[in-house]
Amino acid sequence: MDSGGKSQVNIPAGSEWRFEVDFSQELTIKVVSGVVEINGTELPNNFDLKFKGVKLSIFCYQDSIIEYYGTFSSEYVSDESVVPQYVALHFALQNFRNKAATNNNLNAPRVLVIGGKDSGKTTLSKVLVSYAVKMDSFPMVVNLDPQEGVYTMPGALSATVVNDVLDVEQGWGQSILSGASAFHPTQPAVTYYGYDHINSNPSYYRYNIQKLASVVDKRLENDEMVRQTGVIIDTPALTNKDSSLIEEIVEAFSVNLIIVLGNERLFIDLKKTFSEKIYESLDGQKQFFNVLKFSKSGGCVDKDDAFIRARQQSLIKQYFYGDRKQVLSPYTITSIDYSRLSVYRIVESNKVNTTSATDNSENLDASSVLPIGMDAEEKALLEELEQSKADAAVMSASTVKKEQEKEEVPISEAPAEPEAIVTDGELIEKLEPESSSLQNAVIAFVHADIDEPMTKVLDSGVLCFGYISDANDLKKKLSVLLPVQGNLPNKTIVFGGFRYVD
């Protein structure tokens, strides 16, 4: 759809203007009058903003006029909005922060936002982060959804302290891992999961959650401003089937407030699960804990696989080349000998099931998705067995790490056997470089030297990302695109399922 030149839309106070723009389209908007915001970030008046590949809504606090032109898929004004509920939640959290600042026995808000697919989890997370920044606070945003790249690449989990307004055109903004920025650059802590579905390797996903939670705890322990503000945790699509994972996240990040979006059954089940922990007073006699439910916004729209893939490819391209506001110049290193590399592949232990919990299948008839000849009771036993295997893999990794610390053995001298226990065919595996695995792969350089053991690789965060543009098995050489000019990092390479064609 083409606007056919400049057009204007009048939006009443308390209403939203919702629009969708495909990746092949571009829409330019300008606020002519009024006070409006996108995901909690106020838009300046008389300033052009360009959008491509987005599904957004603009909320108006006053009667407003917005001028727009370009191409888009759809646009309309709705008088229904959940923003007033989000504003009330923000002020409740701010009161929570004020109480915690004067009471050492009370932790600041650590909010877990959960819900089904396309239920508005990321939108609510952005709103709460934006409002906290307006109050001169320093919220830490934790992204546990590998489909999204929050201040980093898709496939990564991250924890970032936000101290500036969000970039509404880009989504979140830039970081030192994703190039120069017109805003204050952030410095995220990043672990690389390597796939966009948590079902691709549940054991490694849980391992990364524990690793990221440890980093978050250290930052909160050493940064008073962040500790007094708290944490906002965004998640992938989760339903009742993921209750054990939700409990693990709550435990790992010391969550004290769970927000459930648009899923009444999940809300009730979690209230029962955490009934013994729930304590709704801020008197400091016990740690506050509660589970709340919010309605799903009418502005939430389904994002199909094609849109998600296009978004991911766009984020990968932005990492290396920047965007229209900040053009970057990546650097290609050619003729790198295979012998110089230490390469690990993140194992894809489970093929993604399109009818899994991550696709909101709770309303399906259970018997319609059972394997032939298997009844519901047998399927439940099978799922319990698979979950036990996943839990055992994580526990074995944790056991190895504790034993190493207990015996105070230098990690470089650790015996080979524990590496097999840590991975157990479930986490990562070392590979000899070859084109069939590495061609067009998005790779992560981690903080582990090429001669360090697998346990060190598992526990290392991400230094930077690269892209293998060419791998030649005959010459045993490859070419790597890096975000900045320089030598190839003498670090271990980890890769998963993400590919990119330049």
DSSP-derived secondary structure for 342-365 = -EEEE---SPPPTTSGGGT-TTS-
* 120 marked as part of a ligand binding site: yes
Which pair of structure tokens corresponds to residue 453?
Answer: 């053991």
Q: Please, which residues have CB within 8 angstroms of residue 304's CB and are 6 or more apart in sequence?
A: none
* 194 marked as part of a ligand binding site: no
Give me the residues paired with residue 429 across strands. Answer: 345
Which pair of structure tokens corresponds to residue 197?
Answer: 């579905």
* 122 marked as part of a ligand binding site: yes
- In the block, which residue shows the tokens 């300033």? 47
* 359 neighbors 236 (Cβ within 8 angstroms): no
* 123 marked as part of a ligand binding site: yes
Dump strand ranges (E) for 249-289. 257-261
264-273 and 243-252 helices, crossing angle to 10°: 60
Tell me the CA distances in angstroms from 150 to 37, 174, 502, one per residue in order. 20, 9, 22
User: Which long-range contacts (C-beta less than 8 Å, at least 24 apart) are formed by 355-358?
Assistant: 356/197, 356/199, 356/241, 357/237, 357/238, 357/239, 357/240, 357/241, 357/242, 358/117, 358/197, 358/198, 358/199, 358/236, 358/237, 358/238
* 354 marked as part of a ligand binding site: no
- In the block, which residue shows the tokens 């791998």? 471
* 121 marked as part of a ligand binding site: yes
* 211 neighbors 459 (Cβ within 8 angstroms): yes
Alpha-carbon distance of 228 to 443, in angstroms, equals: 36
Q: List residues forming the annotated binding site.
A: 16, 55, 118-123
Q: List residues forming the annotated binding site for ATP.
A: 16, 55, 118-123
